[in-house]
Amino acid sequence: MRQQLQLIFPALAIFLAFVLVSNCGPANSQSTTPPQSLSADPPQLSKTNLMMGLSQPWDLAFVPNGDLLFTERCIGLSVRKTDGQTVRLFGPAGAILAAPDMFCEGQSGAHGIAIDPDFQSNRMIYLFMASNISNPRTNRVVRLTVNSDYSVVNNRVDIITDIPFKHQSNSHGGIGAHSGGRLRFGPDGYLYVTTGDNHNGPLPQDLQRLGGKVLRVDRNGQAAAGNNTPFGGDARIFTYGHRNVQGICFHPDTGQAYTAEHGPNHSDEVTLISAGGNAGWDPKPDAGVNCADNYCGYGSNNTAGTPTSMTDLNKFPNAMKPVLSMNDSQGMGPCGFLVGSQWKSWDRALVVGIMGGARLEVLQVANENLIEQMTAGQLPAARLRSTVQGPDGNLYIATDAGEIWVVTPAP
């Protein structure tokens, strides 16, 4: 009996901890205080360049002391220390730790970066990258350890090795398209990994493969407790039925996870996601429909001839409904939340980087509802690739033009 209790109580504790975390959003969101209008007292913004001349920067992440980690798609992972010194940490050439298997092709290469919640004690960081170790090639998530002055990078562990990579071009795009690639730790302590559909029709709804999904794993790449993956699916899958998620962020009060996702020729979407949820993207042709390469992502997957829906509520009536759906696709990418009184009426607003539309959108959201939306019109036009709030409270933005901006709200 004692041995049985020893087995039961830890499992029960884990379950209860997950319930508390997963339910904190709805419980905390029932405030009777109405959200402040974004336009009531918006901040005046100033933009300065922290770094210039980078090669396709993709993601940013701060460590607790203010050092800034950043990825460049074809170069790998580097750090800009608080004294301004830059060190190349991990990549195919010229880095402290060589990664001869890392490569870039098409839209893929070194993508997302995340810092372990216990970084101060374990010095672990995580990177999403394209790798040619296997045949066919895949995307994978690797874990690394750095020492205090970044002179040593070691202990590489590939914690996820089987994220699909588009290894053949087709009529819809070239090799390396639609890999997803954003990494973020949630307030629950688990790592969230976004993946893309590779222009592969069946992939988003295929629960045995990891493309077109949001994964939720522990620091060893094992499935997180409470993913609620549908029966028979890969237990690492948190949500499925996605097209190409390149933004994931968490509400600072409720902990709820929101994704920002590319649409085809329509319907860029921001979605509040939940364990086991289907985002409703199914670009494979229905019976009686023909699409080039069996991918109806830019046409119609149904006999009625209507455009393939990003969130097909007719086919999947219980699909997660988007908070925001744009009428046209403008290249929605990263997302993040602003926190702090310095942001005035934008405090706790969700910001979304738009690449094709070259702007920053500011959203007031509450659970599944979009309350208000406006554009940060004071910023110059640019393809925005990463948006991260720094420890100083300012917003840091990486652009496809090779710059890292510091966006400061005026005092």
The pLDDT > 70 percentage for the chain reads 92
What is the average pLDDT across 295-323? 97
Give 375-399 as a 3 state SS string: ECCCCCCCCEEEEEECCCCCEEEEE
Split at pLDDT 50, 70, 90, the class of 403 is: very high
Split at pLDDT 50, 70, 90, the class of 7 is: very low
pLDDT tens-digit map of 75-127: 999 999 999 999 999 999 999 999 999 999 999 999 999 999 999 999 999 99
What is the average pLDDT across 159-181? 97
The pLDDT, as a whole number, for residue 378 is: 94
Is residue 25 in some structural domain?
no
Q: How are strands ordered across the β-sheet holding 245-250?
A: 245-250, 257-261, 269-273, 322-325
Is residue 10 in some structural domain?
no
Contact status, residue 64 vs residue 119, Cβ threshold 8 Å = yes
Considering the entire predicted model, what is its pTM? Answer: 0.92
- CB-CB neighbours of 77 under 10 Å: 29
The pLDDT, as a whole number, for residue 411 is: 78
The pLDDT, as a whole number, for residue 36 is: 81
pLDDT tens-digit map of 36-69: 899 999 999 999 999 999 999 999 999 999 999 9
Rounded CA gap, 341 and 143, in Å? Answer: 35
Is residue 315 in some structural domain?
yes
Provide the domain limits for residue 216.
Answer: 52-329
CATH code: domain of residue 154: 2.120.10.30
Tell whether the model's pLDDT for residue 28 goes beyond 80: no
Beta-bridge partners for 250: 257
Q: What angle do CA 37, 374, 192 make, to 5 degrees?
A: 95
The pLDDT > 90 percentage for the chain reads 90
The pLDDT, as a whole number, for residue 25 is: 35
Is residue 56 in some structural domain?
yes
Is residue 37 in some structural domain?
no
pLDDT tens-digit map of 379-391: 999 999 999 999 9
Is residue 99 in some structural domain?
yes
Q: Count how many domains the chain has.
A: 1
The pLDDT, as a whole number, for residue 247 is: 98
The pLDDT, as a whole number, for residue 21 is: 37
Tell whether the model's pLDDT for residue 130 goes beyond 60: yes
Tell whether the model's pLDDT for residue 10 goes beyond 70: no
Is residue 120 in some structural domain?
yes
Tell whether the model's pLDDT for residue 196 goes beyond 50: yes
Split at pLDDT 50, 70, 90, the class of 293 is: very high
What is the average pLDDT across 24-37? 50
Contacts of 81 (CB under 8 A, 6+ apart): 67, 87, 150
Rounded CA gap, 36 and 326, in Å? Answer: 23
The pLDDT, as a whole number, for residue 34 is: 61
Please provide the average confidence, as pLDDT, over all residues in the chain: 92
What is the average pLDDT across 385-402? 98
pLDDT tens-digit map of 251-269: 999 999 999 999 998 999 9
Comparing 28 with 113, the larger pLDDT belongs to: 113
The pLDDT, as a whole number, for residue 410 is: 87
Tell whether the model's pLDDT for residue 6 goes beyond 90: no
Contact status, residue 275 vs residue 23, Cβ threshold 8 Å = no
Split at pLDDT 50, 70, 90, the class of 33 is: low
What is the average pLDDT across 277-297? 97
Rounded CA gap, 325 and 327, in Å? Answer: 6
Tell whether the model's pLDDT for residue 219 goes beyond 80: yes
Is residue 163 in some structural domain?
yes
pLDDT tens-digit map of 201-215: 999 999 999 999 999
